[in-house]
């Protein structure tokens, strides 16, 4: 395929006409597909249906899980999360259905009550958060909701630009946190390299109440057990660096068992956990221990989780293949787009030519395929280059994905040619 850059004016015009005609034809197909969010497919959810039938209620230590009590969660659920998140069980607190909810609570109590004795953030003139981009839209929405100023940090293949992170964190006491999805990141699917993790552990924040929000949502979510990323253990690195309180680790079963109906956890130093629990005791008597127990009974241990995740991979990996092979076949060599080939997670991050992402999304929508809004992976919804698009292959069937991707690549070509024509004519 000839690069668009090298096409003559006449060739560009004829290509534009051809693509416009193809687009009109696609519109007539009347597609109605939604790949805007990384939801597990019903087939994936079915993998955990047996969990719904478990009706035990007594924990190993005799706790009656039908009754009140136990703010930290039952011991065996703490152990299960300890294995997933690589944090000792005594440093894990298991909570309700949503890790995002816990992140919100963490911010909320920092705003109203500070962090382990610091001035409550609401009393400060300004609170800033570092936001590696592109990143998870809900992290950014949450920060915006609390009125934090968000600062974009570019992400490379090794993780966030650490030179920039170090500079900001050590120079500016208004910076109180950084969002990280360190493994199979949302949306790039990259995992932070060892050196990046070590540099995080060695941060020297100007603010004593600065914390790393380490959202390890995709810790066990690889496609191939023989070829997967391994994330260095930040909890251990922080301890080694004499910085044990720097870190909150989050995780959940939302993409292991049921999305929004699993269990979640936070891992943190004893001092952090003590502080959190003191505050949390004013908020709840305890989380749903029956669901914790069901999860432990169903998955048993890390090896149970791993074998379950293999079943997820068998469903989801072929969908990523559909997406990636379509991109390679249709766009490879044209030099109008770049994308990442993740080894796990839920997304493919795609870059159009600068200034084309919004148009691609709107063209897709016009022909019946809803994608994540352009700019969603950036603070305030603003992608400075208007080029990032998050592709979420999990929910659609392979056949539906094939149709959606056929339209998507066509829209990328069309928007790119329109852009080239604008520049030339
Ligand atoms: N963090 C990341 C990075 C996510 O992609 C998602 C969506 N699955 C969540 C958190 C939400 O997790 P939960 O359902 O536990 O709130």
What is the reported pLDDT for 118?
Answer: 98
Number of domains the chain is built from? 2
My answer on whether 161 and 69 are in the same domain is yes
My answer on whether 289 and 359 are in the same domain is no
CA-closest candidate to residue 364, choices 409, 416, 418, 408: 408
For ligand 1, say whether the CB of 143 is within 6 Å of any of its atoms: no
Residue that terminates a domain, selected from 250, 282, 300: 300
Find the helix or strand (DSSP H, E) in which 151 lies.
Answer: strand 149-156
344 within domain boundaries = yes
Distances (CA, A) of 131 to 151, 153, 178, 378: 6, 6, 6, 8
My answer on whether 119 and 211 are in the same domain is yes
Distance of CA 166 from the midpoint of ligand 1 (Å): 26
What is the reported pLDDT for 425?
Answer: 77
CB 187 within 8 A of CB 134: yes
Q: Which atom from ligand 1 is nearest to the alpha carbon of 218?
A: 3
| Mean pLDDT, residues 166-182 taken together | 98
| Mean pLDDT, residues 272-298 taken together | 97
- Percent over 70 (pLDDT), the chain: 100
My answer on whether 17 and 98 are in the same domain is no
My answer on whether 295 and 310 are in the same domain is no
Residue that terminates a domain, selected from 258, 276, 300: 300
Instruction: Give the whole-angstrom CA distance, residue 217 versus residue 201.
Output: 19
My answer on whether 323 and 371 are in the same domain is yes
My answer on whether 410 and 381 are in the same domain is yes
pLDDT exceeds 70 at position 28: yes
CB 128 within 8 A of CB 176: yes
CA nearest ligand 1 atom 2, residue:
217
pLDDT exceeds 90 at position 322: yes
Instruction: Give the whole-angstrom CA distance, residue 214 versus residue 171.
Output: 21
List the CATH number of the domain containing 29: 3.90.1150.10
**Ramachandran quadrant class, 381 (left: phi over 0; alpha: psi -120 to 50; beta: rest):** left
My answer on whether 347 and 198 are in the same domain is no
What is the reported pLDDT for 424?
Answer: 84
49 within domain boundaries = no
| Mean pLDDT, residues 258-274 taken together | 98
78 within domain boundaries = yes
CA nearest ligand 1 atom 4, residue:
217
**For 1, what's the count of Cα atoms within 13 Å in the CB-facing half-sphere?**
14
Predicted TM-score of the model (pTM) = 0.97
What residues make up the domain containing 14?
Answer: 4-44+306-424
pLDDT exceeds 90 at position 2: no
Q: 3-class DSSP state for residue 131?
A: strand
Q: What residues contact residue 283 under an 8 Å CB cut-off, 6+ apart?
A: 105
Q: What is the DSSP letter of 121?
A: G
List the CATH number of the domain containing 121: 3.40.640.10
Q: Which atom from ligand 1 is nearest to the alpha carbon of 102?
A: 16
- Compute the mean pLDDT over every residue in the chain, rounded to the nearest whole number: 97
pLDDT exceeds 80 at position 329: yes
CA 73, chain centre distance (Å): 25
For ligand 1, say whether the CB of 141 is within 6 Å of any of its atoms: no
pLDDT range class, residue 5, cuts 50, 70, 90: confident
104 within domain boundaries = yes
- Percent over 90 (pLDDT), the chain: 97
Residue that terminates a domain, selected from 271, 300, 329: 300
Query: Could you write out the DSSP letters of every residue in 230-270?
Result: ----HHHHHHHTT-GGGEEEEEESTTTS-TTSS-EEEEE-H
99-158 residue pLDDT tens: 999 999 999 999 999 999 999 999 999 999 999 999 999 999 999 999 999 999 999 999
pLDDT range class, residue 238, cuts 50, 70, 90: very high
My answer on whether 137 and 238 are in the same domain is yes
pLDDT range class, residue 358, cuts 50, 70, 90: very high
Residue 283 structure tokens: 């908020």
**β-bridge pairing 369-371 and 175-180:** unpaired
CA-closest candidate to residue 187, choices 415, 405, 393, 416: 393
pLDDT range class, residue 1, cuts 50, 70, 90: low
Q: Which atom from ligand 1 is nearest to the alpha carbon of 259?
A: 14
CA nearest ligand 1 atom 11, residue:
100
pLDDT exceeds 80 at position 309: yes
My answer on whether 261 and 217 are in the same domain is yes
185-224 residue pLDDT tens: 999 999 999 999 999 999 999 999 999 999 999 999 999 9
For ligand 1, say whether the CB of 264 is within 6 Å of any of its atoms: yes
Q: Which of 81, 107, 138 to mutate to test the pocket of ligand 1 (most atoms within 8 A of CB)?
A: 138
Instruction: Give the whole-angstrom CA distance, residue 93 versus residue 78.
Output: 6
Instruction: Give the whole-angstrom CA distance, residue 211 versus residue 403.
Output: 43
């Amino acid at each position: 395929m000839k690069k668009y850059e090298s096409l003559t004016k006449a060739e560009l015009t004829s290509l534009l006409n051809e693509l416009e005609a193809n687009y009109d034809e696609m519109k007539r197909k009347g597609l109605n597909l939604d790949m805007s969010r990384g939801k597990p497919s019903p087939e994936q959810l079915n993998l955990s249906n047996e969990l719904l039938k478990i009706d035990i209620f007594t924990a190993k230590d005799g706790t009656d899980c039908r009754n009140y009590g136990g703010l930290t969660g039952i011991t065996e659920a703490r152990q299960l999360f300890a294995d997933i998140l690589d944090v000792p069980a005594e440093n894990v607190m298991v909570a309700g259905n949503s890790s995002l909810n816990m992140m919100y609570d963490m911010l909320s109590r920092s705003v109203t009550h500070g962090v382990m004795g610091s001035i409550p953030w609401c009393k400060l003139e300004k609170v800033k958060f570092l936001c590696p981009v592109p990143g998870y839209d809900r992290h950014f929405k949450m920060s915006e909701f609390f009125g934090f100023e968000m600062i974009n940090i570019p992400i490379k293949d090794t993780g966030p630009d650490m030179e920039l992170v170090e500079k900001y964190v050590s120079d500016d006491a208004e910076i109180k946190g950084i969002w990280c999805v360190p493994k199979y990141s949302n949306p790039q699917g990259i995992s932070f390299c060892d050196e990046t993790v070590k540099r995080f552990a060695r941060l020297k924040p100007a603010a004593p109440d600065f914390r790393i929000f380490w959202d390890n949502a995709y810790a066990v979510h690889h496609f191939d057990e023989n070829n997967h990323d391994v994330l260095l253990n930040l909890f251990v690195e922080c301890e080694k660096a004499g910085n044990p309180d720097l870190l909150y680790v989050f995780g959940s079963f939302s993409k292991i068992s049921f999305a929004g109906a699993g269990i979640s956890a936070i891992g943190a130093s004893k001092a952090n956990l003590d502080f959190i629990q003191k505050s949390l005791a004013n908020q709840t008597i305890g989380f749903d221990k029956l669901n914790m127990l069901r999860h432990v009974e169903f998955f048993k241990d890390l090896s149970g989780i791993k074998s379950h995740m293999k079943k997820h991979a068998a469903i989801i990996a072929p969908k990523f293949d559909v997406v990636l092979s379509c991109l390679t076949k249709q766009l490879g060599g044209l030099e109008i787009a770049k994308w990442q080939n993740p080894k796990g997670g839920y997304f493919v991050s795609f870059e159009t030519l600068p200034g084309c992402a919004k148009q691609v999304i709107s063209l897709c929508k016009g022909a019946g395929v809803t994608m994540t809004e352009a700019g969603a992976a950036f603070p305030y919804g603003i992608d400075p280059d208007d080029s990032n698009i998050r592709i979420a292959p999990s929910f659609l069937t392979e056949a539906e994905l094939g149709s959606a991707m056929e339209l998507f690549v066509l829209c990328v070509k069309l928007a790119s040619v329109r852009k080239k024509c604008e520049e030339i004519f």
